[in-house]
Every structure is written in structure tokens, then in C-alpha cells.
């Protein structure tokens, strides 16, 4: 089952600057071989459900290992069985309607 996921990891209890933890998550996702795109409030990820979710779990593990006591993450995850659709298909489909 293919999934398109949007991940936003929020480290708690470590001050207001959290970019180093987000960078660590980006590395986890890259190391997992997943296609990703960082944006200003999360990261788009595309892949097989199991691969994507294993990477999300690894993000939590790595961020805790860096000393973060608590994490509150939000995820949007979409699956469809009517046809295949990539992240760029989704964006292109909206942009075509904007022309």
C-alpha cells in the first residue's frame, strides 16, 4: 500500500529552537531512501506504508536519543486504491486548475 504522508515532529521540553532535531529527522528519512520534501511546517514523504511508518518511528527514537524527553507529532497520511498518485501529481493537478 503506497502512502503520501506529511510529518511534523514537535520536540517538547528542550527550548524553542528545534531545527537540529528536525534536521536529524530529515537525515533519518534520507537514510531510509524515501522521497521527501521539506516545507515550512513539515515534510512530505512518499513510499510504501511500512517503509514510511518505520522511518517515522525511527525519527522518534533518534530525537529521544538526542535528549528530548517528550515529542508531539502530527501526521497526515493518504492512501488511495483507485489509481496511483505521486506527490508531484497532486501539486500538478491543483496548478493546472489555477491556470
Q: How far is the CB of 50 from a copy of itself (least distance, A)?
A: 8
Helix axes 19-31, 49-65, angle to 10 degrees: 140
SS3 (DSSP) at 82: coil
Q: How far apart are CA 92 and CA 18, in angstroms?
A: 32
Selected binder of a copy of itself within 57, 62, 66, 84 (CB under 8 A): 57
Cell matching residue 27: 537525515
Residues near a copy of itself (CB under 8 A) are 1, 4-6, 8, 10, 12-13, 15-20, 22-23, 26-27, 37-42, 44, 46, 49-50, 53, 57, 60-61, 64, 69-82, 87-88, 90-91, 93-98
Amino acid at each position: 500500500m503506497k502512502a503520501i504522508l506529511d510529518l511534523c515532529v514537535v520536540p517538547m521540553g528542550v527550548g524553542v529552537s528545534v531545527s537540529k532535531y528536525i534536521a536529524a529527522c530529515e537525515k533519518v528519512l534520507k537514510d531510509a531512501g524515501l522521497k521527501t520534501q521539506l516545507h515550512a511546517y513539515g515534510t512530505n514523504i512518499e513510499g510504501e506504508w511500512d517503509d514510511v511508518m518505520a522511518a517515522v518511528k525511527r525519527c522518534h527514537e533518534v530525537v529521544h536519543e538526542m535528549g528530548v524527553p517528550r515529542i508531539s507529532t502530527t501526521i497526515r497520511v493518504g492512501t488511495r486504491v483507485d489509481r496511483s498518485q505521486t506527490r508531484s501529481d497532486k501539486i500538478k493537478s491543483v496548478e493546472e486548475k489555477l491556470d
